Amino acid sequence: MKFKTLAEYFEKIEKEASRLSMTETLASLFKEAGVEEIDKVVYLALGRLRPKFEGIEFSMAETMMLRVISATYGVELKKITEKFKRVGDLGGVIEVIGSKGTDKGLSVAEVYKKLMEIAVDEGQGSQDRKVQGMASLVKELDSVSAKFVVRIPVNKLRLGFSDLTVLDALSWMEKGDKSLRPKLERAFNVSADIGQICRVFKANGLKGIEEIKAEVGVPIRAAQAERLPNAEKMVEKLKVFGVEGKWDGLRVQIHVDNTREVDEAKQEGLFGGGGGKKFARVFSRNLDNVTKSFPDIIQASSKLPVKSVILDGEAVAYDPKTNKLLNFQATVKRKRKHEIGSMAQELPMKVFVYDLLYINGKNMIEVPFKERREELEKIMRDEKGDLVLAEQEVVRDVKHLRRLVKKYLGMGLEGVMCKKLDTAYQAGNRNFNWVKFKKTTEGELVDTIDAVVMGYYAGKGRRGSFGIGAFLVGVVDENNKIGSIAKIGTGVTDEEWGEIRQWADKIAVNKKPEEYQVDKNLHPDVWVKPEMVVEIMADEITKSPIHAFKLALRFPRLVRFRDDKKVGEGTSKKELERFFKLQ
């Protein structure tokens, strides 16, 4: 496929108003793409070069891309910068310039190869080489192709669809409807490489998809918990279930293969063994490869008596002097990409392991939780280091459940997780196999709300010194639209006001993002890109004539910043509506 053809599809998708039309256009694109290129087509359409978990980044800022556009079209950088400030989009700058560009007929594979070479270029002088490489590539593209290519290195392609829309489109390509989505999603849930899913389906159809299994090194989409309003409902729903603590940390999935050595230069593994380094990776809740940030977790995992394993757990920072667990804000500092060694010494991690998904070549996902737990206990029976087997008690009555909730809250945890013992691991799904019981349950809301910051309002009085006095938050609907649900001006410390302002100003934009749905009477003084997630507590959810989805939070206040969550992982409109009914 010529890249120009792909760009024409992108342009059509960008203009689509409905999710169905977008899905149908993607299906047409996938039908036209060949087996050898469909994975590349999908990665590029999602604004990436490889699966998200491989962590391949361009390390190119918008300022570098402005230099690329200036060098490509021979327009003074100052003028390019002024145009960018006005339109707020790199692709839009190329449209404003009005250059038709030169189409050299490059294929998708050729453009992909050049982008990959630019992305992996490191070391002294790499920044200048990246700019030169991008300018050389863009010069060989027509203006429509260039418009999309310049957005990819800065992660701003944003055609408005996700991995799950890709699955819908695959089904539509084959059947003309979404009937194959459940089978495709099952495969994606256990092997979260969307490019591989597309390539296998294009080549071998459903038969190939049904053969996809979990493997070490490819993250499994995390199981998620549901909510119920009180302890009585939980016991009624789950009958007999395991109860574990609910830690306020970072969800991690640990992959180890002691039979596989990797090239030390590639830094894929971080602990030694034999003549090389053994394979090990740590993935976050949102499938980011965070291995390099957690050498202590890798070191602890290397001591397990296994050939290969995939573990699910929660990582929490602790004070090495007192052994006391620290709060979420301290834990999240460990995700930093710099000074990793000193941070590991200052804020070491304990991982409370609560599930086993794979061991010694055997896939455990379909095995009932009771059996997974028994296998987990065998390999962690003697663990006394920073890898800790989560305590579990089997519960059958409300009194026992409340006693455990009180115990774990007294230990400083968020609450407990209640898990059915006879079910498989529900990768990528939220259902009643797991139910969380937090300190907010049976009071206020059934849970906190993870909302997207949409903008902020200038401060008055004492807050005038911060330049911010309130901020607007919203949730995402099924069409990726973000609708307002609350204006928050209380429950925020002086330090937090400063932090919000500093963070927001880095992602501020000149006009309201197209995906935002906000009443004109609620427009903030400064709009921001949808990148900041915050956890909000409120007394209740009420009906609202002014907020986008006709629901609002009553007396909302900030709990914390959710640095570990991206926008798509926050509370959805559908969940908000369900919380409203549960009250």
Residue 109: alpha-carbon gap to chain centroid: 27
Tokens coding 199: 């390539």
Q: Phi, psi at residue 123, to the nearest 5°?
A: 95, -175
Helix or strand holding residue 211 (H, E): none
Q: Are 192 and 51 in contact (CB under 8 A)?
A: yes
Q: Judge whether 246 counts as a catalytic residue.
A: yes
- String of b and e for 314-342 (b: at least 16 CB within 10 Å)? bbbbbeeeeeebbebebbbebbeeeeeee
* Strand runs labelled E in 301-427: 308-317, 349-359, 362-363, 387-389, 393-395, 415-420
Catalytic residue, from 40, 83, 246, 419: name it.
246
Tokens coding 8: 């024409």
- Gap between the Cα atoms of 468 and 471, Å rounded: 8
- Gap between the Cα atoms of 294 and 336, Å rounded: 10
Task: Report which of 187, 136, 155, 257 is spatially closest to residue 507, judged by C-alpha positions.
Answer: 155
Residue 529 CA: distances (Å) to CA of 155, 171, 198, 357: 13, 32, 30, 36
Q: Phi, psi at residue 6, to the nearest 5°?
A: -60, -45
**Angle of CA points 171, 173, 179, to nearest 5°:** 25
Task: Report which of 300, 215, 294 is spatially closest to residue 252, judged by C-alpha positions.
Answer: 294
- Gap between the Cα atoms of 150 and 171, Å rounded: 30
Annotated active-site positions, please? Answer: 246
